[in-house]
Chains A and B, each alone.
Chain A
Amino acid sequence: MRLSTNTIYAIGTQSILDQQSRVSKIGQQIATQKRITKPSDDPRGAAQVLNLQQAKRINEQYAATRATLEIQLSSEENQLNQVTDGLTAAKQTLVAAANGTLSDADRESYANELEGIYQQMLSAANAKDGSGDYIFAGFKSGQTPFTGSAGNLVYNGDNGQRELQVDSSRTMRANDSGLAVFAATTASATYIATADQGNQGSSTYSSLDVVAADADDYGHRFKLTFSGNGADATYSVVDSTTGDTLINNAAYQSGQTIALGNGLQTTIEGEPADGDSYTFAKGADSDSNILNALAHAVDVLRQPIDSDAAQARFTNTVNRANRQVDNALDNVLSVRSDLGTRLNELDNLDSVGETQNVTYKQNISNLRDIDWVSAISDFSLARVALQASRQTFMSVQQMSLFSQK
């Protein structure tokens, strides 16, 4: 074919331009270290990279949430440790104070000791976390959870539980409400017997035994009422849950075992007065705020024992406090172990998350980043090709009849 001079030049120029843009393209890839420098380089890959980046970001976000959660849970754990220590100490104090040979002054000193424990637990219950929010107030984290006079503390928080997304398929509780920690009991909590505040007699309950935990009315609330005095004393038992009268005015003898429905029995000793009563309730059904129970115990420890009735009141209150401390300790330990499980799970999720993150990084890099070996060899090849086009052009350009001497 006849080639025009313009064509010869155009072909030469075009080939140099093509090689140059190839060199520059690979150069750009090497400089940015990316194979995809714009979506058209690999449209599907570019879209995939965006989706993977989002997945990676979300994964990192879970990790950040877990870190926040770990701080929050750890500070709750610190307070729970204090509470556990407090309850253990309270238990020892109550056992020691129950000794019948103690003088009023001895009891006063136990009262002081118990009050110290009470104050320490109250400050744990009203503790704030690192960012100044109350730990045990539920959602109402700006309000002091427990306020009011000793023995009549009121919970100002709520049952709100903050859930945090710690993994794609797992949300985790970030807090426990004050009620759940200080005023709840576990399913296995024991019955609590409460002697009425106005009891005038000297009766005390010496035992409270489970006969059959599978009985149909086990768990109900019972009320034991005495009427008449001395030898005429009779007792009645009412199932307060159903309203049924189970025993009506049976004759009472000290040390007698009294059946409370089909699953429970108690032994009452001493002389009840007309109108004296006991309430038997299980777990959350009783006033289970352990702080109030401790405050009541402090109160009773401070009162002088100057009569049989006072002795009975003291015994009943300390017994009750003892059982409540047991229940509360069970409860706090179960909250703590749940917390420990969560912290453990966070650790596990962290390592899963890290592995996941490495995978995402790898996938993004595979899609988007250059393969150095092939990029550099491509670059050398393109450079050689450019050099060749230039030299070819130069020598073709010199081959003109006009340049013949």
Chain B
Amino acid sequence: MSNLFGIGLSGLGAAQAGLTTTSNNISNVNTPGYTRRRALLAEVANSNGGGGGVTVTGIQRQYAQFLTAQLNDAQSTASATESHLNQISQIDNLLGDSDAGLAPRIQDFFDSLATLAGSPEDSSARNAVLGDARDMASRFRSFASTLSDMGDAVDKRIAGAVDEVNNNASQIAALNKQITVTQARTGQPPNDLLDQRDQLVAETAKLINVDVTKNDDGSYNLTVGGQALVDANGSHRLTTVTDPDDPTRQRLGYVSADGSTRVIPSDRVTGGEISGLLSFAADSLAPARAKLGQTAHDLAVAVNAQHKQGTDLAGDPGTALFATGQPKVYASENNTGAATASVAFAAGQSERVTADNYRIEYNAAGDYEVTRAGDGSSVDTDFDSATNTLSFGGLEVTISGAPDEGDVFTVRPLDDAAASFSVAISDPAKLAAGQDGSPGDNTNANALAALQQADVVEGKRSFSENYAQLVGDIGNQTQSLQVNSDSENALTDELRQAQQSVSGVNLDEAYVNLLYYRQMYQANARVIQTASTVFDTVLSLGR
């Protein structure tokens, strides 16, 4: 008889557990990373086979491990594309107005040269040429500085994201410890901690692609690009490092146990915001800067060369009209030899200057191997052993001192071309419109104006076509990233729905559960009432 009370009471407890779990589900309907829970009930065994009531064996998370892992992967890829897209969209917007920007300024400059050809001695025509030249130069500089500011901002964002990854890793390591300890102590999974840890993993996956393995004791191991981020020893750190071969580039690095840092190759970082930012810097920003630099450099060189063939108002030979930046060469930090390198543009070879950076390596055979930094393809090189000078791509690199095998130099020809593009003369009378020293001679002004349509850049494109190519490249990249991003987001959404269909809270369902457990509670209360009635009946028998 007392059994009946026990059964009723266990039912009340179970109904209460159900109500609590359901209420918790309802209250956490909006909590990020929350996994819906369910009270697990089991019958209490009884020797007579009639049953001893119900017991709550545990509160189970409705967790779909496989779907969650898939979702994290998809999220990682999608956020890489999205961060790349967000960055390149800034350039895309910058280039948006075809009436603004660089192209019209270049046209203005050549326009005023054509006007100068009409009246070569006219001082207002001369002033207009100088004014338009200055406008064009400042447009080149401001465009270059916008791009370089974007590069700095990207470096900062990468550093910020790396900090966040490190922070998450140390929290995950701490949670690993708490989870294993709690589980050992209570025998029950600490659901809230598990949710927190999975949420951290998901957030980390948005920043960088992480591989997760679950150990038997319930702890997680995380690896990034083959390097352990979280393991049994706790968390390890990522960092940003300057590329030892090329100090202008930021790379992702890993801090080893001994405190030394090592570069993680870019091809190992395939997902997350960090990967997107790295690809933007390497595949979108750097080519855009190089292309802009190439336009500035070729324009300056071609105009200067023509200008020097002319004579100014006083009959003196023309001087350089524009000043532009010089190429740069960097010796790798890891070089062991004593060699140093210097670089200059080869005279009269500007059509060979391409929008590439180069890597020079001194190999075991005692030769210099020159490759393009972008795709690693090899470059035809002439080597003059008398002067120790390498000639390639319109550049001359002179090595002095003895290199060791494996020593590396990085050549960046066009970094400074647009950024330091300026007008070198300030006196309009110094414009060389003629060629025979007379003020009315317009021969050189005609020749300068004709450069506008000449295929100067690499001998194939006009300045404006080269710029249009930059605009087209950025547009194409943005467009294809947009398409990729849309489809990746669709995949992510689909996976999130699938994952949520297992782990998410549905309020209608929760409402039904509430009614259900309320009824269960009422029913069990009725059992107790019945037991009481039965008990009273028995007691009243003795009266």
Contacts and interface: CB of A to CB of B under 8 A. Distances in A.
Interface string B103-117: 110010011001101
B516 to A, nearest CB: 12
B501 A1 contact: yes
B135 interface: no
B501 A68 contact: no
B446 A47 contact: no
Interface in A1-50: 1-7, 10-11, 14, 36-44, 46-50
A395 interface: no
A402 B507 contact: yes
B118 A133 contact: no
B121 A141 contact: yes
Interface in B36-83: 36
A5 B446 contact: no
Looking at A47, A53, A140, the one whose CB has the most chain B CB atoms below 10 A away is A47
B506 A4 contact: yes
A54 B451 CA distance: 13
A68 B525 CA distance: 106
A7 to B, nearest CB: 5
Interface string B348-391: 00000000000000000000000000000000000000000000
A133 B313 CA distance: 14
Interface string B469-512: 10111111011001000000000010011101111111111011
Interface stretch (A161-169, A317-325, A349-357): A161-169
Interface string B149-162: 00000000000000
A162 B440 contact: yes
Contacts of A7: 496-497, 500-501, 504
B501 A3 contact: yes
B121 A142 contact: yes
Contacts of B504: 3-7
Looking at B36, B118, B441, the one whose CB has the most chain A CB atoms below 10 A away is B118
Given A37-B96, A51-B468, A164 B118 contact: yes
A6 B26 CA distance: 11
Nearest to A64: B115
Contacts of B503: 4
A48 B91 CA distance: 18
Given A1-B501, A54-B103, A142-B439, A165 B117 contact: yes
B92 A39 contact: yes
A122 B489 CA distance: 84
Chain B interface size, as a band, is 35 or more
A50 B361 CA distance: 40
A39 B115 contact: no
Looking at B29, B117, B436, B473, the one whose CB has the most chain A CB atoms below 10 A away is B117
Contacts of B511: 400-402
A139 B469 CA distance: 40
Contacts of A141: 121, 438-440
Contacts of B111: 57, 61, 64
Nearest to B313: A142
B98 interface: yes
B501 A158 contact: no
Interface string A51-73: 10110011001001100110010
Nearest to B500: A4
A374 to B, nearest CB: 20
A138 interface: yes
B454 interface: no
A401 B93 contact: no
B442 interface: yes
A139 B462 CA distance: 30
Contact of B439 (A3, A5, A140): A140
Contacts of A138: 438, 440
B119 A51 contact: no
B133 to A, nearest CB: 16
A131 B103 CA distance: 31
Contacts of A6: 29-30, 500, 504-505
Contacts of A69: 118
A38 B493 contact: no
A368 interface: yes
A43 B479 contact: yes
A49 B497 contact: no
Given A7-B497, A47-B468, A38 B475 contact: yes
B465 interface: yes
Nearest to A162: B442
A75 to B, nearest CB: 12
B455 to A, nearest CB: 13
Nearest to A404: B511
5 contacts: A38-B92, A38-B96, A47-B472, A51-B464, A139-B441
Given A139-B436, A158-B436, 14 more contacts: A6-B505, A40-B475, A47-B472, A50-B103, A61-B110, A61-B114, A131-B119, A139-B434, A165-B117, A165-B446, A165-B450, A171-B446, A174-B118, A401-B507
